[in-house]
């Protein structure tokens, strides 16, 4: 029933050979003592936990799903989920990158990020229970009062309690300005909150003794729209003296959704009937506070799809080596067998390498972004922090949208390798496709990500952030421009860099005339920039691999082959995307809505 082996070798390559995290972290006082061995050990242990505890629950969790007892509002998670969560807590995993002041282990996010790739690969539905806690932790840490932090953070860090994000309502998802949940002032500075929320992942479950809901709602005097939204902390059980769960707060699960996938995770409709909550941050500034959570969540969603890409790839490879079917067109490769293993067929290899390249590129890219977050949070030099923050702002929507589009495509290709068996539940491949589909939607649809990238991150500052990142690529191009062996990578990298510059300017000019040009170009634009970033990281990885290809370690041969595949087969998507992005708004806007 499938397998998952943590890709430790490639993670080590990315962290140490590509990103030199040990040296990088030496510049961050908080992490200066961390060495490569410790990082590798943590990831090795994490990989074991993912493979041996979480992966065996993945398929069964999908088949079983979650159950709601309507009378008690209690949600039962699939068999084994609760026990796995206990092991997760006992292993100290929730605390990995949390602040030691609250019981955390203080490891950098770049390590936590790799850990998250593995647990998501093993079981996305399960990982969403603790995954949401992480957002709540970051939001409280950034915006909570000292008392709130003291009361709640240790519980989140230990994993005793989990967290949620309660944003969406039935009539508003993307457009949170429309939300209606009300918060009325109550005794002791608390608020009484009433309303209905939907799509609340891990909104109710049986894995932890308490759940901290972060809820967006409106104060009585709040202005309309997004400027009248406040953020509240609404615990399932109100902490009693000593911090133990006390009175049950009337925030209850009214229904759990039947979904395409992630069946093991309870997607809850939550009803708040005068639930007691406490303001987080300033009144009417709830969206800003929530954005702390959302940015982390967007990187997290990228990691979900990276994990699915990897696990789908691994299983497809195993099948392609085992399954005997037809002979190679260029002559039998396993003449002693009744047919050749299907991995001899070029198109099977195309499907496998597509998933492989999306995984390897995504791993390099997302690890880089996580490292930039560490730098943004902890570098002593403000200039450096600011520069890292700009990179994170620019690259986060790309991690979210590009990796999730790629992950869905990769899972679908991996399914296809199985032929008819891919469509059958017991092989597990179709679950990866179903699970991967949500990642293109939640935490801001991929269209929203693309508008964020093109509208806010690129056009709003006239391309300044993009130019800064482009200069880094340009420096690499110049450094290796005369290296004959690198020209197969440098030439197309330089080319796509030029094209991104021109395309950005062209869209910027058109947007002056008509803002719809931004919406018309945004989705293909994001993917073009995603390819620029992937081409850059594949070129850097190829350089390392070229230097070590005669080391006797076949890892570098494989890395080089994957990089070459990326440039030959995946980067050409930009030829389509640039034409689409340049085709403008006219062909989209011509048809009257009535004529659709």
Burial class for 455, CB neighbours closer than 10 Å (0-12, 13-18, 19+):
middle
Q: Are 73 and 253 in contact (CB under 8 A)?
A: yes
Please say if 443 is a catalytic residue.
Answer: yes
Q: Are 153 and 212 in contact (CB under 8 A)?
A: no
- Residue of 146, 189, 220, 338 interacting with a second copy (CB under 8 A): 338
Instruction: Kindly state the smallest distance separating residue 442's Cβ from a second copy, in Å.
Output: 6
- Which residues partner with 215 through β-bridges? 166, 232
Size of the residue set binding a second copy (CB under 8 A): 100
Indicate the residue among 111 and 451 with the shorter CB distance to a second copy: 451
Q: Does 343 bind a second copy (CB under 8 A)?
A: yes
Angstrom distance (rounded) from CA 54 to CA 292: 28
Q: Going residue by residue from 176 to 195, which x/- string records binding to a second copy, judged by CB under 8 A? A: --x-----------------
Q: Does 534 bind a second copy (CB under 8 A)?
A: no
Indicate the residue among 242 and 338 with the shorter CB distance to a second copy: 338
- Residue of 67, 79, 350, 386 interacting with a second copy (CB under 8 A): 350
Both tokens of 336, joined, read 């002693």
- Residue of 175, 478, 483, 553 interacting with a second copy (CB under 8 A): 175
Half-sphere exposure of 235 (CA within 13 A, CB side): 23
Both tokens of 152, joined, read 């709640």
The DSSP code sequence of 123-134 is: -HHHHHHHHHHH
- Residue of 259, 456, 467, 548 interacting with a second copy (CB under 8 A): 259
Indicate the residue among 140 and 560 with the shorter CB distance to a second copy: 560
Instruction: Kindly state the smallest distance separating residue 112's Cβ from a second copy, in Å.
Output: 27
Residue owning tokens 């009257």: 592
Q: Does 554 bind a second copy (CB under 8 A)?
A: yes
Q: Where are the beta strands (DSSP E) in 153-223?
A: 161-166, 182-185, 191-201, 210-217
Catalytic residue among 44, 443, 506, 573: 443
Q: Are 236 and 96 in contact (CB under 8 A)?
A: no
Instruction: Kindly state the smallest distance separating residue 349's Cβ from a second copy, in Å.
Output: 4
CB under 8 A: which stretch of 25-33, 234-242, 447-455, 476-484 binds a second copy? 447-455
Angstrom distance (rounded) from CA 282 to CA 551: 58
Q: Does 460 bind a second copy (CB under 8 A)?
A: no
Instruction: Kindly state the smallest distance separating residue 469's Cβ from a second copy, in Å.
Output: 24
Q: Does 336 bind a second copy (CB under 8 A)?
A: no
Q: Does 214 bind a second copy (CB under 8 A)?
A: no
Q: Are strands 237-239 and 245-248 parallel, antiparallel or unpaired?
A: antiparallel
Indicate the residue among 162 and 450 with the shorter CB distance to a second copy: 450
Q: Does 454 bind a second copy (CB under 8 A)?
A: no
Angstrom distance (rounded) from CA 263 to CA 63: 7
Instruction: Kindly state the smallest distance separating residue 231's Cβ from a second copy, in Å.
Output: 20
CB under 8 A: which stretch of 128-136, 154-162, 202-210, 324-332 binds a second copy? 324-332
Angstrom distance (rounded) from CA 85 to CA 105: 18
Instruction: Kindly state the smallest distance separating residue 24's Cβ from a second copy, in Å.
Output: 29
Q: Does 32 bind a second copy (CB under 8 A)?
A: no
Angstrom distance (rounded) from CA 474 to CA 481: 10
Helix (H, G, I), strand (E, B) or coil at 137: helix
Task: Determine how many CB atoms are found less than 10 A away from the CB of residue 336.
Answer: 5
Indicate the residue among 50 and 357 with the shorter CB distance to a second copy: 357
Task: Show contacts of 379-386: CB within 8 Å, 24+ apart.
Answer: 379/27, 379/28, 380/27, 380/28, 380/29
- Residue of 523, 529, 535, 542 interacting with a second copy (CB under 8 A): 523
Q: Are 355 and 346 in contact (CB under 8 A)?
A: no
Which residues, numbered 556-595, are part of the site for a second copy (CB under 8 A)? 557-558, 561-562, 564-565, 567-569, 572-576, 579-580, 583-593, 595
Indicate the residue among 186 and 424 with the shorter CB distance to a second copy: 424
Indicate the residue among 93 and 567 with the shorter CB distance to a second copy: 567
What is the sign of the dihedral through the CA atoms of 74, 75, 79 and 84? negative
Q: Does 549 bind a second copy (CB under 8 A)?
A: no
Q: Going residue by residue from 39 to 68, which x/- string records binding to a second copy, judged by CB under 8 A? A: ------------------------x-----
Q: Does 502 bind a second copy (CB under 8 A)?
A: no
Q: Which H/E stretch holds residue 375?
A: helix 346-378
Q: Which H/E stretch holds residue 276?
A: strand 267-280
Q: Are 213 and 293 in contact (CB under 8 A)?
A: no
Indicate the residue among 15 and 167 with the shorter CB distance to a second copy: 167
Indicate the residue among 295 and 574 with the shorter CB distance to a second copy: 574
Q: Going residue by residue from 406 to 445, which x/- string records binding to a second copy, judged by CB under 8 A? A: --x---x--xx--xx-xxxxx---x--xx--xx-xxx--x
Give catalytic residue positions: 443
């Amino acid at each position: 029933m499938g397998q998952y082996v943590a890709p430790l070798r490639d993670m080590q390559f990315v962290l140490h050979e590509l990103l030199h995290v040990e040296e990088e972290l030496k510049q961050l006082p908080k992490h200066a003592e961390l060495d490569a061995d410790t990082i590798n050990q943590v990831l090795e242990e994490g990989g074991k936990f993912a493979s041996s505890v979480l992966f065996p629950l993945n398929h069964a969790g999908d088949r079983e799903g979650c159950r709601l007892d309507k009378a008690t509002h209690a949600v039962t998670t699939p068999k084994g989920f609760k026990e796995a969560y206990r092991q997760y807590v006992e292993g100290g995993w929730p605390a990995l990158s949390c602040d030691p002041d609250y019981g955390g282990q203080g490891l950098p996010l770049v390590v936590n990020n790799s850990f998250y790739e593995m647990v998501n690969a093993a079981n996305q539905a399960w990982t969403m229970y603790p995954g949401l806690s992480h957002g709540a932790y970051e939001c409280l840490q950034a915006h909570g009062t000292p008392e709130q932090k003291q009361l709640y953070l240790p519980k989140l860090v230990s994993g005793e309690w989990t967290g949620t994000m309660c944003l969406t309502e039935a009539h508003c998802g993307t457009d949170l300005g429309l939300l209606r949940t009300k918060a009325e002032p109550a005794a002791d500075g608390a608020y009484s909150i009433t309303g209905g929320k939907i799509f609340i992942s891990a909104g109710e479950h049986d894995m932890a003794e308490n759940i901290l809901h972060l809820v967006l709602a409106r104060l009585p005097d709040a202005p309309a729209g997004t400027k009248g939204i406040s953020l509240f902390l609404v615990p399932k059980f109100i902490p009693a003296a000593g911090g133990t769960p006390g009175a049950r707060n009337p925030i209850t699960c009214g229904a759990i959704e039947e979904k395409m996938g992630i069946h093991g995770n309870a997607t809850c409709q939550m009803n708040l009937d005068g639930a007691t909550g406490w303001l987080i941050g300033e009144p009417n500034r709830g969206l800003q506070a929530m954005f702390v959570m959302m940015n982390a969540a967007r990187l997290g969603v990228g990691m979900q799809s990276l994990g699915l890409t990897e696990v789908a790839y691994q299983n497809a490879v195993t099948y392609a080596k085992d399954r005997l079917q037809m002979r190679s067109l260029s002559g039998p490769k396993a003449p002693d067998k009744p047919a050749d293993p299907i991995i001899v067929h070029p198109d099977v290899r195309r499907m496998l390498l597509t998933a492989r390249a999306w995984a390897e590129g995504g791993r390099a890219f997302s690890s880089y972004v996580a490292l930039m977050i560490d730098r943004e949070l902890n570098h002593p030099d403000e200039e450096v922090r600011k520069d890292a923050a700009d990179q994170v702002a620019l690259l986060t929507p790309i991690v979210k949208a590009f990796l999730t589009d790629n992950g869905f495509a990769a899972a679908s290709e991996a399914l296809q390798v199985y032929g008819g068996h891919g469509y059958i539940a017991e092989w597990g491949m179709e679950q990866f496709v179903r699970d991967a589909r949500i990642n293109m939607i939640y935490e801001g649809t991929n269209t929203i990500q693309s508008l964020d990238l093109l509208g806010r991150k690129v056009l709003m500052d006239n391309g300044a952030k993009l130019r800064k990142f482009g200069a880094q690529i340009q420096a690499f191009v110049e450094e290796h421009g005369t290296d004959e062996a690198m020209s197969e990578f440098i030439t197309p990298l330089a080319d796509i860099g030029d094209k991104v510059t021109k395309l950005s300017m062209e869209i910027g000019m058109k947007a002056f005339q008509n803002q719809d040009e931004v919406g018309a170009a945004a989705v293909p634009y994001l993917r073009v920039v995603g390819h620029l970033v992937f081409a850059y990281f594949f070129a850097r990885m190829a350089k390392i691999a070229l230097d070590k290809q005669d080391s006797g370690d076949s890892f570098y041969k494989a890395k080089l082959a994957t990089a070459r595949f990326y440039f030959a087969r995946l980067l050409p998507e930009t030829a389509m995307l640039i034409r689409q992005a340049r085709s403008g708004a006219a062909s989209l806007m011509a048809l009257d809505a009535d004529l659709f």
